[in-house]
Amino acid sequence: MAALLVLSGCGQGEPTAGKLLIAGSSTVAPLVAEIAARFEAEHPGTEIDVQAGGSSRGIADVRRGLIDIGAASRALGPGEAGLTEHAIARDGIALIVHRSNPVTTLEAAQVRAIYTGRTDDWGTLGLPAGPITVVNKADGRATLTLFLAHFDLDAPDVVPDVVVGHNMQGIQSVAGNPGAIGYVSIGAGEQEAARGQPIRLLPMNGISADSDSLRDGRYPLSRPLNLITPGEPTGLARRFIDYAQSPAVHDLVRQLHFVPAERP
């Protein structure tokens, strides 16, 4: 195993020191890194290494015993039996365009036409003419899987101009190209727009793509942000997951524009 727990027991058998390796979703990783930093500060002697790489990597690596905890920005599927998910927050997926793009909304049929190459110029949609640059997510990304399912698209039918991995690559691709369109985590998109990135999140089905609509359950394309373990966790992994699901980190969840998950 890539990370071996080195534990020293306290009076009740709880670990007070040790190491954890967590890897997976690029959407979940920044939140887990913030939670891990606070946990380390409150529990001297603990060391938590957080890496990205995609939900598929996190799920595969935790199944193979290469990491202690996986991170996934989706629920486990029917072919992933034997693993246990632990929700720490809720997020959504939003279409993004450059801030200068006058488009205000897109119907599902228009999104499908853009991503399959049947519509390749903004002028076709009644907007100022200009080529559409399609930004798509790489294979293995949970964001891609959910986007395709929501818009009833098959991966081979998508005709991308740019393929990106993590959210920041998607945001930067759109921020640097007024004709581009992509899709990213609402949390990441809201945060970067607030920081001055020239992007705009498009509403979906008339519902604003923001943390408020996620919080009240109106946004149509939402997903859980999960930590994944091989069965029920024990020791330091259990203690960290309990902390990540507790109200003690809800401020961190909200700071990253996610919605705290309800405790099971």
Average pLDDT on 96-102 reads 97
The pLDDT-based confidence of 86 (bands split at 50, 70, 90) is very high
Percent helix / strand / coil, the chain, rounded to 5: 35, 25, 40
- Which pLDDT band, with edges at 50, 70 and 90, does 140 fall under? confident
CA-based nearest residue to 101, from 115, 80, 117, 121 = 121
Q: Over 50: is that where the pLDDT of 10 sits?
A: no
Q: Where in the chain is the domain with CATH 3.40.190.10?
A: 18-90+224-260, 91-215
pLDDT in tens, 187-246: 999 999 999 999 999 999 999 999 899 988 899 999 999 999 999 999 999 999 999 999
Q: Which CATH superfamily is domain 91-215 in?
A: Periplasmic binding protein-like II (3.40.190.10)
Give the position of tokens 């309990």. 242
Look at residue 7 and tell me whether its pLDDT is greater than 70. Answer: no
Cβ-contact 227, 22 below 8 angstroms: yes
Residue 9 pLDDT class (50, 70, 90 cuts): very low
Torsion 150-153-159-164 (CA) sign: positive
* H or E element that contains 263: none
Q: Mark residue 56 as left, alpha or beta (left: phi above 0; alpha: psi -120 to 50; beta: remaining).
A: alpha
The winner for highest mean pLDDT among 8-12, 79-83, 96-100 is 96-100
CATH topology for the 18-90+224-260 domain: D-Maltodextrin-Binding Protein; domain 2 (3.40.190)
Q: Give the percent of the chain with pLDDT over 70.
A: 93
Task: For residues 178 and 131, give the distance between their C-alpha atoms in angstroms, rounded to a whole number.
Answer: 10
- Name residue 28's beta-bridge partners: none
pLDDT at 148: 96
